[in-house]
Structure 1
Amino acid sequence: MWKQFIGKLSWKSLKSSSGGGGGGGYSPPAAKPSPLSPRANGAAAVKPNVSPPPAAGAEGRSREDAFVQKVNICCVVFDFSDRGKDSTEKERKRQVLMSLVDCIGAVEEPLTEAMIAACVRMFAINLFRVFPPKVRSSTTASETEEDEPFFDPSWYHLQVVYELLLRFVTSPMVDAKAARKYMDSSFISRLLDLFDSDDPRERDCLKTILHRIYGKFMGNRPFIRKAVSNIFYRFVFETDHHNGIAELLEVFGSVISGFAKPLKEEHKLFLWKALIPLHKPKTVGVYLPQLTYCITQFIEKETKLAGTVIRGLLKYWPVTNSQKEMMFLGELEEVLELTDMAEFQKCMVPLFRRIANCLNSSHFQVAERALFLWNNEHLFDMITQNHQVILPIIYPALERNTRWHWNQSVLNVTLNVRKMFLDMDERLLLACQNNFQAEEEKRAATEERRRLMWEQLERNAAGAFHPVITTDTSFPAPPSSAPLVAPTVT
C-alpha cells in the first residue's frame, strides 16, 4: 500500500502547487513537531523544501516523508469565491486529499508522531477560519424557523477535509495519546467555534466528528463539556444567536445517555445552569426537540431532577408568546410522564396555577393544549390522587371557560374535564362551585363600589367650580401707589 502511495507522489506537482492559490501558505514540520499553530487565511505561500526521494533501503523513513509531503500539499488554501481562479491547483489538491482519505482508511501500520502532527496542522489550516459578519433581516422571524441556509462555495474541498478528519479520529492506527498532544484544548475550542457556520452540511459533519472525539479522547471530555456550556451561556445571555445549538444538543443527548449513575454534581449543574436557561431565547423552537431529549435523559437517570426541571420551565414560561407557550406545554407533558408522585407533589401547586392561566388563554390552541393534559393517563392518575389540592386551584379557570370562552371546542373539552372532577369528588366540586360563586359576588360588589366612586369623581369634575377669594385683614395691604423699595445690603 505504501509503495503505491509513494509512487503516486509527483515531485514536480509538489513544487508547482506551492505557489498557486490565494490562500495561506505553509512550512514543513521540523524534526520535532511544534505545537498546533494554524495560519490565518491570506498569508503568503512558502515554497517547501523538497529533497530528492530517499534511498530504497529507508522504506520506513520514506513512508513518513512521503505522507508528510503529501499532507503539506494540502496546506495551501485557495480562494473559492472565484470558481475559475486556480482551478487546476484546486483540483490537484482535492485529488491529493482524496488519496489521503483512502490511505488512512486502509493503513495497516500506526501513524508516527510526525505524521499525526502534520495531519492536525493541515486540518487547522483548512478548517479554522473567521466567518463573515452575519446580515440579519430587520423583520422578526418566526421562533421555529431558521434563516435561509448558506452554502459555502469552498464546501467542495472542505467536505473531503472533514472526511479525512473523521477517518483520522476513528482510525485505530492513530494513537490517542500521541494525537492528544496536538488535538489539544486550543484545537477543540476552535473546532467548536465552527458550529456557528451558516452551512448546515458543515455543522452536520462537525456533529459526527465531535461525538467521535468525545469518545476517543477521554482526557478532553471535561474541557468539551465546559466549552459547550460556555457556548450556551453566550448564546442565552449575550448574543441571542448561534447556528449550531441543535447540533451541539444532539451530540450531548448521546453523551448524557452515557452518564453513570448516580449523576455527578457537575452534570446536575450542567442541567440547571446550561440546559434549562436554553428555554429563554425566542428561537427555542429551532432546537426544542433536541433540548427536550437531553432533559428527559437526565430525568431517566435520576427522577428527583423532575422537580428541578418543572420549576425551571415555570421560571422561563412565556407570557405573551402563544406559539412558544404551546411548545412548553408539549415539553411539560413529556416531563410529567417521567415524574414520580413525590416530585409531583412538591411542585403541583405552582404548576397548576400556571396551567389554570393557560386554560383561560384567549388563544384557543393554548387553552385546548392545556386541557388535553387530562388525556395523559399517568398525569390523570396523579391528578386523581391529589384532586383535593388541585381542584380548588383549577376550578375557577374551568368555570370561567364554561361561562365566557369564545371557542366552542375549548368549551366542550372544558365540560368534559369538569365532568371528570365531578365523578372524582362531587362534594368537593360543589364546594368549589359555592366558593367560586361567593368570590364572584364579592368581586362584583367591589366592581360596583369602584364604579360608583368613579361616577362621583366624574360628577365633581364636571360640576361648576367657582373659586372663592377671601381677604386676610390681619395684615394691611400696601397702597397701590407706594414705590417699590429695594432692600439695603449692610
Structure 2
Amino acid sequence: MDYSEKTSDIPEPKICISTSDFEHLEQRQTFYENYLEYLRGPEIESNKERGLIEQNVVPKILAQLDTELDEEREYLKAILCCAYQMCSGLRAYIQSEINNVFFRCIHETEQVDGIPELLEVFAEIIGGYEVPLKAEQEQFLVDILLPMHKLDNLEFYPTELVKCITQYLEKNNLLAGPLIVGLLRFWPKMSTKKEVLFIEELEGILEMADWLQFDVIQEPLFRQIAKCMSSTSSRVAEQALYLWVNPVVLSLVEANYEIIMPIVFPALHVISHNKWVEDIMDLALQVLSMFLRMDKNLFKELAFNFEAEREKGKQFELEREMRWKKVYELEAKNRALHFKDQKLQSTSQKLKFEFKIYPESIIEELKSELREPKHKLHQIYRPYAGSRKHSVQMKSTIRNFLLNVEKNEKT
C-alpha cells in the first residue's frame, strides 16, 4: 500500500504558543527552544501563507512576558524578535500590540516585568526604519518613549529606554530638540535616582544633538542644570557638574557663553563657598576658572552684580524683620484693647440681663432698702432668684450697680 497519498491528505497542525500545560521552567524552556527552531526554519514564509502562524500568537507571547523569571523573558524576547524578522505580514500587528502594552504601562498598570525586553525589541525595530522617518514612527517617540520617563519604576529599564532614543537620534538628530524639551517637562522633583538618570541621558542626547537647535533650548536647559547643581543631594549636584567636563558640552558653552554664564554663575558661586562636599566645591571652582578664562570682564561684572544682589537681599530681610516686628507690636496692642472691650461688653451684657429680670419698680425698691441690714436684703432678693447660688450672684451684681448709680447721682 502507498502511504504517501494518505499522509498528504492529513492537514498539518497549526502552531500555537501556550504554556499553561507546562508547570516547570524546564518544560517551558524545551517548548521555547523548539518554537524558536521552528521560526528559524527555512519554510517559515510558506507556513505563514498557509496559516500555520496566526496573529493570536503575539498576544500570548506578550501576556507571558509579564513574569518574574528573567530566563523565560529572554526566551520570549527572542521568539518575538524572530517572529518580527521572519514574518513580514505580522510586523504591523506586532508593533501595534507592543504599543498597547506600553500605553497600559504608562496610563494604567505601570507594569515592570517584560518592559525592558519589549524596549529591546523595539530598539531593533527602530534600527530597521528607513530614513527619512515617517510621521507615525516619530509619533511613537512623543507618545510612548517620552512619557515613560515619568514612571516611578524608570530605574528598572534606563539602558533599554536610552537605546531606543539613541536609535531615533541616529536616524534624525533634529529630534534632539523635542527630546530635551520633553525631558525638561517630565523632570523629576522628588527622586534623586531619577534625576541622576535624567542627567546621564541628557548628556548622551547633547553629544548627538544638532547645534542649530541649541539656541532655542539653551536657556531652559541650563536653568535646569543650575537647579541640579544647587541640589541638596550630592549625587545630583556632582552629576550635573560633571557635564562641564564633557568636551561636547564645553564646545557648546564656549560658543554661547554670553547667554549661559549669567544663568549658571549664581549657582556656581554659592556652591564654591557653601557646599559641604569638597569634591563638589572643587568641580565648581574649576567651572568658574573656565568662565574666567573665557571672558574676564563678563566674569567680574557677574561677580559684582551677584554681590550687589546679595546685599539687596540682606537689606530686604532686615526690612522685612522690622515690618514683622511692628506687626507683632500692633497685634499685642490690639489684643490688650480687645480684652478690655470684651470685659466691658461682658459687664454690660450682665447688666442688661439683670434689667430684663428685675423691673424698674423692683430696682427702686432695692434703692430704698440699700441701708437695711443684710438679712433684710436677703429676704427682698429671694423671690426674684431661681436658686440660692444664683440669688447671691444677682444680689451682689445689683448691689454694686446701685452703689455706682448713687455715686453718679451725687456727683
Decide: shared fold, TM above 0.5: yes
Q: Which residue number corresponds to residue 223 of structure 1?
A: 93
Q: Which residue number corresponds to residue 240 of structure 2?
A: 370
For the residue of structure 2 that corresponds to 1:262, the secondary structure is: coil
Matched, 1:166 2:36: yes
CA distance in 2 between counterparts of 1:367 and 1:296 reads 25
Q: Which residue number corresponds to residue 261 of structure 1?
A: 131
Matched, 1:186 2:65: no
Cα 1:210–1:470, aligned 2, differ >3 Å: closer, same or farther? Answer: closer
Match of 1:404 among 262, 268, 274: 274
* Matching residue's letter, 1:389: I
Query: Once the 2 structures are TM-superposed, how far is the Cα of residue 216 of structure 1 from its aligned partner?
Result: 1.7
For the residue of structure 1 that corresponds to 2:42, the secondary structure is: coil
Deviations along 1:250-284, one digit per CA (max 9) or x if unpaired, are 11111111110000111111011111111112221
Note the residue ranges of structure 2 that are not aligned, 5 or more in a row: 360-411
Query: Once the 2 structures are TM-superposed, how far is the Cα of residue 194 of structure 1 from its aligned partner?
Result: 1.3
Query: Once the 2 structures are TM-superposed, how far is the Cα of residue 181 of structure 1 from its aligned partner?
Result: 3.1
Query: Once the 2 structures are TM-superposed, how far is the Cα of residue 342 of structure 1 from its aligned partner?
Result: 1.2
Match of 1:252 among 115, 122, 126: 122
Contact 1:352 1:390 in 2 (8 A): yes
- Structure 1 stretches of 4+ moved >6 Å: none
Cα 1:293–1:178, aligned 2, differ >3 Å: closer, same or farther? Answer: closer
Cα 1:231–1:408, aligned 2, differ >3 Å: closer, same or farther? Answer: same
Higher share of residues assigned helix: 2
Contact 2:73 2:114 in 1 (8 A): yes
CA distance in 1 between counterparts of 2:279 and 2:4 reads 80
CA distance in 1 between counterparts of 2:9 and 2:67 reads 34
Q: Number of residues paired by the alignment?
A: 350
Deviations along 1:280-339, one digit per CA (max 9) or x if unpaired, are 122211110011011011011111100111111111111121122111111111111001
| Higher gyration radius (CA) | 2
Matched, 1:127 2:72: no
Deviations along 1:434-465, one digit per CA (max 9) or x if unpaired, are 22222222222222222222223333445561
Match of 2:181 among 307, 311, 326: 311
Contact 1:236 1:277 in 2 (8 A): yes
Matched, 1:200 2:76: no
Q: Which residue number corresponds to residue 467 of structure 1?
A: 340
Note the residue ranges of structure 1 that are not aligned, 5 or more in a row: 1-54, 66-113, 130-151, 484-490
For the residue of structure 1 that corresponds to 2:133, the secondary structure is: coil
CA distance in 2 between counterparts of 1:353 and 1:180 reads 60
Contact 1:395 1:432 in 2 (8 A): yes
> TM-score, normalization: structure 2?
0.79
CA distance in 2 between counterparts of 1:320 and 1:349 reads 23
Cα 1:128–1:64, aligned 2, differ >3 Å: closer, same or farther? Answer: farther
Q: Which residue number corresponds to residue 322 of structure 1?
A: 192
Among the aligned pairs, what percent are the same residue?
32
Deviations along 1:405-425, one digit per CA (max 9) or x if unpaired, are 111111111000001011111
For the residue of structure 1 that corresponds to 2:173, the secondary structure is: coil
CA distance in 1 between counterparts of 2:51 and 2:80 reads 17
Q: Which residue number corresponds to residue 425 of structure 1?
A: 295
Contact 1:176 1:217 in 2 (8 A): no
Query: Once the 2 structures are TM-superposed, how far is the Cα of residue 153 of structure 1 from its aligned partner?
Result: 5.0
Query: Once the 2 structures are TM-superposed, how far is the Cα of residue 178 of structure 1 from its aligned partner?
Result: 3.4
Contact 2:102 2:144 in 1 (8 A): yes
